[in-house]
Amino acid sequence: MNTLLLILIGFLLLVLVVFYWLQFRAQEESDVSEDRRVYPLLRGINFLLSEEPDRALQEMVKVARLNSEAVDVYMSLGEMFRKNGEIGRAVRIHQNILARPDASEKVYIQAQYALAKDFQTGGLLDRALKHYQKVLDVDSAHIPALKAALRIREISHEWLEAEALLSRIERIQSDDECLHRSYLIAETAELALNSSDLEQAKKLAGEALNVNRTCIHAYDILLRIAVLDQDKETVQTFGKEIAERIGEFCAVFVPVLINDQFNCQDVLVGIWNNHHDEELALTMIEHVAVAHGADAAKHLKNDVLNYSTENLRSLLRLAAVGISEDQSIKSAAKPWRLAMKRYTCGHCGVKVVDMRWQCPQCHEWGTMSFVRESS
């Protein structure tokens, strides 16, 4: 017997106790009425014990139709089916609740929201949005529906619609989500940059920074535009601001500032000389090693940065790009470096290989940072 069946059995036994208590509170109801309510519940438990969940579900439908209090049982069944990956069953349950002619507004909202979650879990995002909107048509301040719709807009890269939903959430909660907003604007700027509309991209990235000066993505876009324009003065200006405001993230910009077309390595070296951030030095050395070979990386490490370390993680990273005399370490370090989880979310703690502006697990914006280990 699987876990879902055990959960259902326990839950329905609890409901059965509740039903007997309700009957005790309502002595005026006839014995026939009592039988009609309790017997489907008993049959449902019997079908579950016989591992016939479909027939058990049919009995629960009868219970829900016969007693309004049983709607909560019905909703819980749908929730359990969804969590078990049985989306079709969950959808049928919630659609049956909505088909009830006597459904209250509260029940209607609950069922529409649950149905939207069913479709979202099943990957039918357009249908999920439709049902979240039905919830909001009745209750415009339904925060869970607003946040779920916002998540779908973000998944679909519909940044303007996402920003509009964020504004509604801010107004209802009286909470300033400026960092979140700045990243949504930066994503819109990224779309403009990908379409070669540099002026619009620059304008939107600047707007993102006006909303929150720690939006790393906005700095990344502005630096890329400055490099394309070969505007060394702007690169230096932003490099200085980055070092002052978000110095721990300087390593993120290494691929942008060290390239063959317009090399701004000296800007990064200047930041290193002022802050001596180990992640910045390691990233520069790795980038140069990949682009120009181990000898160029050694020159950068020893002669330009004067960088040395005893940190095991850092030594392995150097060995992975060929800066080690021990060949056995080199061969072991390279695959380790390729799979190394370099970034971590400050909100949920998940670790990932590549930088993400939005955490892939908790979906918070601007929470990723470098993993920094002392050994």
* Mean pLDDT for all residues in the chain: 83
Model-level pTM? 0.78
Question: CA nearest 370: which of 237, 227, 247, 235?
Answer: 247
Residue that the structure tokens 């056995």 belong to: 328
Give 161's contacts (C-beta < 8 A, 6+ positions apart). Answer: 153
Give 313's contacts (C-beta < 8 A, 6+ positions apart). Answer: 373, 375
Contact 111, 134 (CB under 8 A): no
Q: What is the pLDDT of residue 31?
A: 42
Q: In this model, does residue 335 exceed pLDDT 90?
A: no
Q: What is the mean pLDDT of residues 347-370?
A: 91
Helix boundaries (H) for 247-277: 254-257, 265-275
Contact 323, 290 (CB under 8 A): no
Greater pLDDT, 294 or 153: 153
Give residue-wise pLDDT tens across range 7-60.
555 555 555 544 544 454 444 444 434 444 445 656 666 665 566 666 666 666
Q: What is the pLDDT of residue 152?
A: 96
Q: In this model, does residue 244 exceed pLDDT 50?
A: yes
- Selected from 3.40.50.300, 2.30.38.10, 1.25.40.10, 2.130.10.30, the CATH number assigned to the domain covering 3-172 reads 1.25.40.10
Give residue-wise pLDDT tens across range 249-267.
999 999 999 887 788 888 9
Separation CA 322–CA 315 (nearest Å): 11
